[in-house]
Structure 1
Amino acid sequence: MGLFKRFKKPEANVLLTIPKSTFELGDTLKGAITVSCDDEFDATEVRAELRCIEKRRRERWEYNEHLKRKVRRVYWDQATLHSTDPCASGKLHLLPGFKKTFPFKADVPAGGRESFDGIDANITWSIKGVVAIKGRPDVTSETIELQVVKPAGPRAVKEKEVVMIPCEYCETLMPETSSSCPNCGAPRKT
């Protein structure tokens, strides 16, 4: 391998395909990574990289020497909430003309955060396909942004059925759990 070849990506294409772009928390994300190459090289693995990144807008007061006073500086704080790299294939020796599709699956954690985009904060889920190469830059696919939503749980709440009994004095129906009649105020007899 030439000296400058170490700094250059191999001539290869990586295509990540997923059946949909919206997932619920707790879902299993299934997809495929298609690798085609026009160069000979050794890959350490073929994997997908699933990331959940939270960005928050922050403010800080800093002293400006030129203005001789404090000025407000706005910046964005970034934190990785979830990161997983499901492996689709182990070590490979790729030759010119090689083309193969590798299936993979990754779990979106049930306790994760759903996608959100606001003025002061946002949460972004993304995935990309990677062919990792030792000693050279990795070949990657385009990054796909995912929409992760809360699972649609059961909407109907079962209410307990209230048994109604007649008052012994005025014959008005009242709940069985009442201690007195709501109409005449008479105590309930057991």
Structure 2
Amino acid sequence: MGFFKRFRTPKTTVTFEIPRSSFPLGSSISGTITVSSKEEFDATEVRAELRCSEKRRRERWVYNERLRRDVRHVYWDTAILLSEDFKVSGPMHIVPGFKKMFPIKVDIPAGGRETLDGIDVSVSWFIKGVVAVNDRPDPTSETIELQIIRAAMPTAKEEVKMVACEYCGSLMPANSSSCPVCGAPRKSL
């Protein structure tokens, strides 16, 4: 390998495909990473990288000598909430004309934060496919921004016992005081 070749990404196309971009917390993402190469190189692994980052707007007051007063400085503070790598393949030798699809299943943690875009704070989720190469930049797929939503809790529905009306014979809930069809009051509760 030439000296300048180690500063270039291998001539490889990496695509990461998922069925949709919106998922609830605690769910799994099933997708495929497709690698097609036009160059020969050794890859250390094929993986998917899942990242969750939070940006918060902060401000502080700094005394300005020239203006002789305090001046407000606004800046964005960034924190990485989640950084996980999901390995789908180990080391391999890739040759020109190589094309392979790697199925992958990525789990979103149930205790994470949902996607949020506000005035003072934003939470973003990103995922991409990567072919790791030693001593060279890694070829990556396009970064996909995910919409992570709070998982909806299933509502417990009580089973209502139905009884027949003594006057018209139609069914009504056992906890009602009068018939919804004829309006007659129930005699026995």
**TM-score w.r.t. structure 1 length?**
0.81
Q: Which runs of 5+ in 1 are unaligned?
A: 164-190
State the shift of 1:154 in Å. 1.8
Number of corresponding residues: 166
1:3-55 deviation per Cα after TM superposition (whole angstroms, max 9, x unaligned): 11111111111000001111111101111100011111111100000011111
| Identity %, equivalent residues | 61
1:71-108 deviation per Cα after TM superposition (whole angstroms, max 9, x unaligned): 11111111111111101111111111111111111110
- Counterpart of 2:72 in structure 1 is 72
What's the secondary structure of 1:72's corresponding residue?
strand
- Counterpart of 2:56 in structure 1 is 56
C-alpha distance in structure 1 between counterparts of 2:20 and 2:135, whole Å:
34
- Counterpart of 2:117 in structure 1 is 117
Aligned pairs for 1:112-151 (under 5 A) are 112-151=112-151
What's the secondary structure of 1:82's corresponding residue?
strand
| Structure 1 runs, 4 residues or longer, greater than 4 Å off | 156-159
- Counterpart of 2:35 in structure 1 is 35
State the shift of 1:56 in Å. 0.6
- Give RMSD over aligned pairs: 2.2
C-alpha distance in structure 2 between counterparts of 1:66 and 1:6, whole Å:
49
| Matched residue type, 2:117 | D
State the shift of 1:67 in Å. 2.2
- Counterpart of 1:153 in structure 2 is 153
What's the secondary structure of 2:5's corresponding residue?
helix
Relative to structure 1, the CA distance from residue 113 to residue 157 in structure 2 (aligned partners, 3 Å threshold; closer, same or farther) is: farther
State the shift of 1:158 in Å. 4.9
Relative to structure 1, the CA distance from residue 63 to residue 87 in structure 2 (aligned partners, 3 Å threshold; closer, same or farther) is: same
- Counterpart of 1:99 in structure 2 is 99
C-alpha distance in structure 2 between counterparts of 1:57 and 1:111, whole Å:
24
C-alpha distance in structure 1 between counterparts of 2:60 and 2:97, whole Å:
54
What's the secondary structure of 1:86's corresponding residue?
strand
State the shift of 1:157 in Å. 6.2
What's the secondary structure of 2:61's corresponding residue?
strand
